[in-house]
Amino acid sequence: MLQGWIQIALTLLIVVAITPFFGKYMARVYQEQRTVLDPILNPVERLIYVLIGVQTRENMTGWQYARAILYSNFVMALLVFLLIINQAWLPFNPTKIGAPTWDTALHTVISFITNTDQQHYSGETYLSYGSQMFGLGYHMFTSAATGLAVAIAFIRGLTGKPLGNFYVDLTRTITRILLPICIVGGVALMAAGVPETLAGPVVLPTLENPNISQAIALGPVAHFEIIKQLGENGGGFFAINSAHPFENPNGFSNLIEIVAMLSIPTALIYTYGLFANNIKQAWLVYGMVGAIYIAFIIITAIGEYNGNAAVNALLGSTQPNLEGKEVRFGWAQSALFAVSTTATMCGAVNSLHDSFMPNGGFVTLSNMFLQIIWGGQGTGTAYLFAYLILAVFVTGLMVGRTPEFLGRKIEKREVVLASFLILLVHPIAIMIPSAITFAFSQQLAGISNPGFHGFAQVIYEYASAAANNGSGFEGLGDSQPSPIAVASGAQTTITALWWNLSASFSILAGRYIPIIGLLFLADSISRKQPVPLTTGTLRTDTGLFTGVTAGVILILGALTFFPVLAFGPIGEAFWISQ
């Protein structure tokens, strides 16, 4: 037991140690200050700006920034959709995989362009190497860079600066942050045993019967895996994601993947502190989020270590819950990975979340409901400060202070936008499709478990889609037969069609409506004239206010989603304990 807790503690210490260094570097990148990569990348970036016709000094309004995101994302999605549905005759397809069904291709493209990477297919049997490398891999970089660009534009707006230029932010994010780290991280993963090859599957005889052959899938996995983790993408090259030994072979690769997953969202809070000239507030917010995150890790890890009471009664001793887990990771690293992947909205998994004890189901769902326990790639940080704006307003009303944030008044427009983002869009994107699914459960749901757990499976799928997380409880009938099976006569199902289309609705609503709202909110604040500090100003860089903000976050999340948690993991916990 002690060894597991030590592993968790050391991993978190590494993340905390790199936060200020990485946060400073990102601040220098987005403030266009000198970095060590300037001699190499300045000429490259100038060429890119000339080719796409961007004026680097041209600042955008909130609506212009949002329009640029929508237009560019649409064009990129269309290109990758055409690539995937034509993969059968395109190169880099050693296994000769045919075209997927239109609805799975549509869901896949929508999922990857939005940084969700929810997968209703098995990568090794559904997509060619070309589709994974040039389609999904391309989206992994651009979707992550889009989220970071939104966060930086939001931070600029909060601190009274112009929002900047989307195309410049997108370019600098890819060239100066994502690509350099992915090159180093990809090499490290190859050294750890992750393959990087264009060779086809290896055919070998099985151990049980030498006369029967099996095909072991390979592929260009290492470079795919590192951007999957660093960019909070989460989509696996193989069906079982980071539980697969070719994606995550050992403890060293697991450490690299967890640190990569946590590094950008944690450091981005420190970057905010540099933009705002208030490192104290950054560390207070960091500590608040970190405290909730650690509490969630403890809750999950205790549940997995203690195991299932019914199973323990049969065994006559307490055993960890290892169902759905890789032995090489055990209960501790599985729990840490599960909490981290849903906290950061990454969505990668090194164990089956469907097999976790109710503690784990409660935590993973809560992470996706709140969306700010580190949060998605960039957008999670923006959500966090939207909560701070709500906390400023609520606290100001309670104590009779002027609602101000960073020297700018918080008025009706800002409160309406923040409330709309946090309290309305996310629940709608989860609850409406869930209600339809439950109303026609026989025709649409494809639930593999009855009762509380089956309820949680459906809610988890839509929460994962709306939060742009992409992980799943699984156990749902959301996968269609692979193109190989379709060629042999297997039929697609209405259940898979429903999951593809309804999840696509939740993904789009959960991604683009909040992005537009965040940019409008930042634009509105940036245009306000700063007001001087007075005795009536509510300071936001104190421990007391940070504690109030934590209360606001947890209360709003509990009030919105507690009934869902009660019918899901909480109800399951009471049922198991009987």
Tens of pLDDT along the chain (578 residues) come to 788 899 999 999 999 999 999 999 999 999 989 988 999 999 999 999 988 888 777 899 999 999 999 999 999 999 999 999 999 999 999 988 988 889 999 999 999 999 999 999 888 889 999 999 999 999 999 999 999 999 999 999 999 899 999 999 999 999 999 999 999 999 999 999 999 999 999 998 888 888 888 889 999 999 999 999 999 999 999 989 999 999 999 999 999 999 999 999 999 999 999 999 999 999 999 999 999 999 999 999 999 999 888 888 888 778 899 999 999 999 999 999 999 999 999 999 999 999 999 999 999 999 999 998 998 787 788 888 888 888 888 888 777 777 888 778 888 888 888 887 777 889 999 999 999 988 887 766 677 777 898 899 999 999 999 999 999 887 777 776 655 544 444 445 777 888 899 999 999 999 999 999 999 999 999 888 887 776 666 788 889 889 988 988 888 877 889 999 999 999 999 988 77
Tokens read off for 68: 């640029």
What residues are paired with 204 via a beta bridge? 214
Cβ neighbours of residue 162 closer than 8 Å, sequence gap 6 or more: 59, 156, 526
Helix (H, G, I), strand (E, B) or coil at 120: coil
Interior/surface letters 116-146, b for 16+ CB within 10 angstroms, e for the rest: bbbbbbebbbbbbbbbbbbbbbbbbbbbbbb
- Please give the pLDDT value at position 349: 95
Which residue segment(s) compose the domain that 67 sits in? 1-205+214-577
- Please give the pLDDT value at position 489: 44
170/87 Cα distance (integer angstroms):
28
| Number of domains into which the chain is organized | 1
515/383 Cα distance (integer angstroms):
10
- Please give the pLDDT value at position 482: 52
Distance (Å) of CA 88 to CA 98, 113, 125: 4, 22, 12
Angular region, 194: left φ>0, alpha ψ -120 to 50, beta rest: beta
Within a 13 Å sphere around the CA of 315, how many CA atoms are in the beta-carbon half? Answer: 12
Residue 350 DSSP one-character state: S
Q: Do residues 104 and 121 make contact, with C-beta atoms less than 8 angstroms apart?
A: yes
End-to-end alpha carbon distance in the chain = 26
- Please give the pLDDT value at position 488: 46
